[in-house]
Structure 1
Amino acid sequence: MKKFIVLLWIGMLAAFLPVEGAAAVKLACLGDSITAGMGVRKEDCWVSRIARALDKKAEVGNFGVSARCLLFKGDRPITREKAYRDALAFKPDVLLIGMGTNDSKKQNWIHKDDFAGNYKEIIAEFRKQNPKLKVYCLLPIPSQEAREGGISRECIAGEVIPLIRQVARSTKSKVIDLNKVMKDKDNLLVDGVHPNAEGHALMAEHILLVLKGKAAE
């Protein structure tokens, strides 16, 4: 009976959280300014909220860098950053990738044919460190910059997200749909791009539900 209860508990937590006494799971969050928590206090960022909620069950690392894109030929690829190398060295058990927002800029999206391939390369590089790595691809929220050629809500919805879903399927990764979570919530975007504290709380809540197996994506 005791064994059954333990197995049931593990299943409810999507099998990624440790049993009592085991080492904490290492969870890495790789992303741009939304992951970094630009515009909100550190403790209000979705990554910090997840870390508090999981407490000692997980060691959470925030490897977000503002203005970075995923495309290797883009203006500021995350792969060139120290944070990326640190994330690899962290050797996570679980990886949350929150990229694609800055890729939607006109200057970056001219390289869109490389997006899926570059995304897969990043996942493959992390899996070299840990073949059992669980990957969650976060779908970008519906951000929109006022300036022409900037972050595009239409590009995110119509092109970036379908490619991320394709990558998730082909790499046996899971999807977390933050776009749906933040849909029609422009009032929670302080500058059209970055969520306020309430927006971060909504995203953290949904991510936790997915990680715990209580939401499909």
Structure 2
Amino acid sequence: MIRPVLSDARRRILTAAASVALLVGTIAVMYRRIMYPPVPRLGEDRIRVAAVGDSNTYGAGVLFRGRARRAYPGRLQRILGDRYQVLNYGVNRRTLQRDGDWPYDETPHAAASLASQPDIALIMLGSNDARGDNWNPERYASELADFAERYRARGATVFLLTPPVAFENRRGVDERIIASEVAPLVRRVASDLHIDLIDVFEVTARTVTSHRDGIHLGARSSALVAATVAGAIRLSRRTPTPTP
């Protein structure tokens, strides 16, 4: 009489354990795909635009709302049209500074964005440099200049983007450092190197009153950034030809 009861209980335990293991495995796969998205595939005979950045380029603020379409690079693709290919090289949590806690340079996307031989490079890194103990203004300015020059050396038209405005948040990103130090340094480096500037901070600070979590662009603000970037590309003095 006892053995069948114990056997049934054991089966239930094993079934529950298997379900938990499957759930944990699924979550792990999803987390890895979110934190380390696939490197974009390259097309031919189109003007190649490499959108390089952190979670605001990746689209963390619209993660479960059609990220590929609603992140700013996806919206930019629709605005620019089929003559362009906008490649999203955004990776979550990443810093520009190589001594930061999660450096962008350590991702496959850093090398892939250069190897793609982009006609246009959009660089928006800096929000996570204002997180915790990451911030070092001298190092940030120096490394941003070096970072931009990598793409210029490969023939890309480079645009430096200030990070968007940030608000109080629980992720350790200091919104005051972004406003008073990161954004001004991006402007200064762009001026020093005679690189086109897209002042995402100024545009979002003027029109956006909040982000859902304090730092990530939502659907409306992503659309605003995409429209701003598209306008800057179209007004640029240098019109690239499609990459064969």
Q: Please classify the TM superposition score into its range, dividing by the shorter chain length.
A: 0.7 to 0.9
Structure 2: gaps spanning 5 or more residues: 1-43, 237-244
User: Could you tell me how far 1:145 is from its partner in structure 2?
Assistant: 4.3
Quick one: percent identity of the two aligned structures?
Answer: 31
The within-5 A match list for 1:22-171 is 23-40=45-62, 41-42=66-67, 43-109=69-135, 111-128=136-153, 130=154, 132-147=155-170, 150-171=172-193
Residues 58-91 of structure 1 show CA distances to partners (whole Å, capped at 9, x for unaligned) of: 1111000000010111111101110111101111
Distance 2:144 2:98 in 1: 9
User: How many residues get paired?
Assistant: 189
Distance 1:99 1:108, change over 3 A: same
Alpha-carbon RMSD: 1.9
User: Could you tell me how far 1:171 is from its partner in structure 2?
Assistant: 1.8
Distance 1:205 1:125 in 2: 26
Residues 104-160 of structure 1 show CA distances to partners (whole Å, capped at 9, x for unaligned) of: 113101x322111111111122223x2x32111111111134348x21121111111
Q: Does the Cα contact within 8 Å between 2:161 and 2:200 map onto a contact in 1?
A: yes
1:195 and 2:217 aligned? yes
Structure 1: gaps spanning 5 or more residues: 1-21
Distance 1:26 1:65 in 2: 19
Report the more deviating stretch, 175-184 or 56-65. Answer: 175-184
User: Could you tell me how far 1:187 is from its partner in structure 2?
Assistant: 4.6
User: Could you tell me how far 1:23 is from its partner in structure 2?
Assistant: 3.4
Distance 2:103 2:204 in 1: 25
Q: TM-score, normalised by structure 2?
A: 0.73
- In structure 2, what residue type is equivalent to 1:100? G
Q: Does the Cα contact within 8 Å between 1:188 and 1:199 map onto a contact in 2?
A: no
Q: TM-score, normalised by structure 1?
A: 0.81
Matched residue SS, 1:29: strand
Could you list the structure 1 runs, at least 4 aligned residues long, displaced by more than 4 angstroms after superposition. 184-188
Distance 2:81 2:225 in 1: 18
